[in-house]
Amino acid sequence: MDIRTRFAPSPTGDIHLGNANTALFNYLLARSGGGKVALRIEDTDVERSRADYEERTIDTLRWLGLDWDEGPDRGGPYGPYRQSERLETYAVHVRRLIDGGHVYRCYCTREELVAERGRAGEERKSRGCPGGCRLRAERQAGGKPGGGTPFTVRFRTPDNETVVVNDMLRGEIAFRSAEIDDFIIVRSSGAPVFLLTNLVDDALMGITHVVRGEDHISNTPKQLLLARAFGYAAPEYLHTAVILGPDRSKLSKRHGAVSVEQFRREGYLPEALVNYLAFLGWNPKDEREIFPLGELVREFSVKAMSRNPSVFDHRRLLFLNGQWMRTIEKDRLVSLCSRRLVEHGYITAAEADEKRQTLEKIVAAAGARLKTVADIVPQADFFLTEDFPYDENGAAKHLKDEETAVTLEAAAERLRSGRPRSAAEMEEIVRDFIGETGVSSKKVIHPLRMALTGRTEGPGLFEIMEILGEERARARIARAVEYIRRRGGSV
């Protein structure tokens, strides 16, 4: 059987880690078996769906590196792939359910329904429909409200059956039909509901496997009942494990970033996110940690998936991101970092081009300090302006007395040469200076770093000196000397 899976996002917000996680597993399941993936936009909730969210969803999925064979953006044999363009199909299906006697009209008011929802199991009447609409419909009894009274269409759930969901991860999960509500399939507005549209489309689009979050498990028996009513073969279902926050409650905004876009803004790499997302529900059963998407496709198997909840571990994601920052092509890393500096207004796009070589050196000097692309800002800002502030504690400690001012002045003189020098040459000069003057290296290195960067930590001092060049380094030292004297440093 050729595997066909789908991403079925609802464009009601930015996609979050949970959506991306299930999208990834749909992708891996299809691609690892040479199958196809479709993108279907589930936008039947007119009030909450927005076209810009659809665009962003597609953009985010692409950014993650996922791709699909069919979708609203590229067509395909089972289109349209946007549910709002398939309303006629759903209407035909609703008609089939009406003709088959599988549904009835429910005239219960919102107030009645709200009151019903508050009732506990035993007291609940006719599964979600408190007004006896089902009975009335069955008896064909009169007393129906007059025309124009709003109604929903409910599925007539069978009374005493067991509906078995055969989940690919969890095995058989049995539901007693008596505990399943007569679920609504058409709202009073006439809009078909997710349970129906999703099942109908999976069937018509030839979807063989549905991978979705555990929170959908209670929907699945209802959809199996619908499939049977239509005479459709239901797809296989795999409900992925829920993702929990560090406090083991369901991952939500309370725990910090949850939307993929936010991680993107915070400077995470798509490779790292995908790599990490794969670990939320799957693992290679060995020590390996770095998995490009292609390798995930090769290694993936449902057997290696877990149904136990996974706990989102920000530190691990950050660690993986740091690894990926050193795995991707240097050129791309430099471009990403430059773009970030442009976005933050440290340089213009034109300057980023002109200063490309310098930026390459800045990125190299930052090295493993770059855990995310965003980290380039504190690693690079002082290179790009002469007007950086001094870290207060650092200045109090290392730019404080006339002795330091004198040492810095002498060091600046040593740097005078009129030609560019490598980090190694800079190091030699400073080491010689320390050796000859007998000033302790701490009293040279720390004030120099403060003078050149305004802070106590950062890239290697000699790399910094190479990047700045003699002239700028000396000007910065002069500024620090002036600062010391202005503050009235005494010997």
Q: Looking at 2-10, 45-53, 368-376, 412-420, which segment touches ligand GLU (CB under 6 A)?
A: 2-10
299-338 binders of ligand GLU (CB under 6 A): none
Phi, psi of 154 (to 5 degrees): -115, 150
Name the one range near ligand GLU by CB under 6 A: 8-16, 51-59, 156-164, 440-448. 8-16
Q: Does 9 interact with ligand GLU (rule: CB under 6 A)?
A: yes
> What amino acid occupies position 437?
T
Please give the Cα distance from 249 to 7 (Å, whole number). Answer: 25
| Per-residue b or e along 116-148, where b marks 16 or more CB atoms closer than 10 Å to that residue's CB | beeeeeeebebbbbbbbbbebbeeeeeeeeeee
Task: Draw the binding track, 34-63, toward ligand GLU (x: CB under 6 A; -: no contact).
Answer: --------x---------------------
Among 216, 355, 446, 472, the residue binding ligand GLU under the rule CB under 6 A is 216
DSSP H or E segment with residue 103: strand 103-106
Output the smallest distance, CB 105 to ligand GLU, in A.
26
Residue-wise burial string across 253-264, b where 16 or more C-beta atoms lie within 10 A, e elsewhere: eebebbbbbebb
CB of 3 to ligand GLU, least distance (A): 16
Residue window 433-462: x/- pattern of binding to ligand GLU, with contact defined by CB under 6 A: ------------------------------
For ligand GLU, the closer CB: 127 or 222:
222
Exactly one of 10, 152, 197, 310 binds ligand GLU (CB under 6 A); which one? 10
Which tokens go with 273? 């996110």
Distance CA 290, CA 432 (A): 43
Stretch that binds ligand GLU, among 3-11, 113-121, 310-318, 339-347 (CB under 6 A): 3-11
Token pair for 356: 């490309």
Q: How far apart are CA 281 and CA 20, in angstroms?
A: 12
Task: Report yes or no: 112 and 152 within 8 Å, Cβ to Cβ.
Answer: no
Which is nearer to ligand GLU, 20 or 480 (by Cβ)? 20
Q: What are phi and psi of 371, to 5 degrees?
A: -90, -30
Whole-number minimum distance, CB 220 to ligand GLU, in Å? 9
The DSSP code for 323 is H
Q: Which 175-204 residues touch ligand GLU, going by CB under 6 A? A: 198
- Minimum CB separation of residue 7 from ligand GLU in Å reads 8
Among 212, 340, 398, 474, binds ligand GLU (CB under 6 A): 212
Using the minimum distance from each CB to ligand GLU, give the nearer residue, 36 or 455.
36
Least spacing, CB of residue 12 vs ligand GLU, in Å: 8
* Smallest gap from residue 210 Cβ to ligand GLU (A): 6
Shortest Å, Cβ 40 to ligand GLU: 8
Smallest distance from the beta carbon of 196 to ligand GLU, in angstroms?
12
Give yes or no for a cis peptide into 80 (omega within 30° of 0).
Answer: yes
Residue of the chain from 210, 347, 444, 481 that contacts ligand GLU (CB under 6 A): 210
Residues 253, 330, 397, 442: which is the catalytic one? 253
**347 touching ligand GLU, by CB under 6 A:** no
Distance spanning both ends of the chain, measured CA to CA: 85
Nearest to 277 by CA among 18, 7, 13, 15: 18
Nearer to ligand GLU, 55 or 432 (CB): 55
Nearer to ligand GLU, 210 or 225 (CB): 210
The reply to whether 8 sits near ligand GLU by the rule CB under 6 A is: yes
Q: Per-residue string for binding with ligand GLU, 231-250, x by CB under 6 A?
A: --------------------
Q: Which is nearer to ligand GLU, 76 or 284 (CB)?
A: 76
22 vs 152, beta carbon nearer ligand GLU: 22
Q: Measure the CA–CA gap between 79 and 72, rounded to whole angstroms.
A: 8
DSSP letter at 61 equals H
Query: Which residues, other chains included, contact 99 with Cβ-Cβ below 8 Å and sequence gap of 6+?
Result: none
Which segments within 11-132 are labelled E, that is strand?
A: 36-39, 103-106
* Contacts of 41 by beta carbon, 8 Å cutoff, 6+ apart: 8, 9, 10, 11, 54, 57, 71, 72, 81, 82, 83, 84
- Six-digit token string for 304: 């290696």
Query: Which residue intervals of 143-206 are DSSP H helices?
Result: 194-204
144 is catalytic: no
Cβ-based nearer residue to ligand GLU, 124 or 216: 216
Q: What share of the chain is helix, strand, coil (3-state, %, to 5)?
A: 55, 10, 35
List of residues contacting ligand GLU (CB under 6 A): 8-10, 42, 198, 210, 212, 216
Residues with a catalytic annotation lie at 253
